[in-house]
Amino acid sequence: MRVTRGSCATRTPLAAVVALAFVLALCPCPPAHAGGAGENALELTVTVDTVPGVPGPTVRTGAAVVKKYRLVNGGEADLYGVTVADDQVPGGGIRCPARTLAALGSLVCTARFPARAGEHIGTVTAHGDVPSLGERLTATARAGYEGIGGALGLTETVRVTGNEAVVSYTVTNRGDRTVYALRLTDAALGAAPGAMPCVEALAPGVSAGCAATVRRDPGSYRSTGLVTGTDRITTLAEDGARVPAPLLTAEATATFRVPGGGTAPGTGTGGGAGAGGTSAGAGTGTGTTPGAGVPPAPGTAAVPGAGPPGTAAATA
């Protein structure tokens, strides 16, 4: 009887060990160690103005871009010296609330900067160290955005002959999208809306010349040109809201003098900066390149004596 009981006692633990070894051999679980970090313990996701992944949102050039980097530590060991690198962030300006990421914890780092024109997509890399194990965990993700928008520029030149001044305006699209519904006014000259015909649309990088002829008594005068338009593009705000196309504007000024008596010619020049998401340059150029691929507005025939050939003109 003692032999029989001893034999059973010996066989039962051996069978259990063999069964456990068989189960462990079939288990697909990844290698890990107690209190340590799994092979893919660090996870990274990136959103740009609340939009995840690529190609990302369309943002108006100059508007705010907000990138958020969410890090998750799925391991059982704390991560130290946590960093996030993104070469699409100017100056690498990414702020994290802490440099330690607790086991099974998460944190969100943030970058905020103005959108640049063009497509900006890159790879984001995050690191975290487990000093006690001599390990560095790495996670990557792709993210980006596209900065777009039309932008207007306006310059002026003035030529005076006798009591008549020809004010020439050069309108330029300095953005990367076509600008439509262009309107040019000059309140200082008393020109009513629509009295100064120009082009209706401008393609990116294209300029158009417009002109107005005014007759004044002897004295000093100031011209203040204003051009407006729209690129008709809806973009995304930093909180994910849709933003309608703004009114694009640019201004320029020029002073001139009508001499008393005689017909001595005089000239004046001026330029100004744009507003409402536009840009503009100053200068004295009188280029009148028509909008390439964009038809001029109806009723832009030149008024005799109003300006150089190829420009639209009006008399005020």
Please state the pTM of the whole predicted model. 0.69
From CA 148, how far away is CA 313, in angstroms rounded? 32
CATH 2.60.40.10-classified regions of the chain:
42-148
User: Using 50, 70 and 90 to split pLDDT, how confident is the model at 126?
Assistant: very high
Q: Is the pLDDT of residue 39 over 70?
A: no
Model confidence over 75-90: pLDDT tens digits? 999 999 999 999 999 9
Instruction: Give 189's pLDDT tier (boundaries 50, 70, 90).
Output: confident
Candidates 144, 173, 107; CA nearest to 236 is 144
Write down the residue that tokens 């699409």 correspond to: 88
Instruction: Report, in angstroms and rounded to the nearest whole number, the Rg of the chain calculated over CA atoms.
Output: 34
Residue 232's pLDDT is 97
**What are the tens digits of pLDDT across the range 138-154?**
999 999 999 999 999 99
Q: How far is Cα 207 from Cα 173, in angstroms, rounded to an integer?
A: 7
Q: What single DSSP character describes residue 191?
A: P
Q: Give CATH superfamily name and number for 42-148.
A: Immunoglobulins (2.60.40.10)
181 token code pair: 């519904």
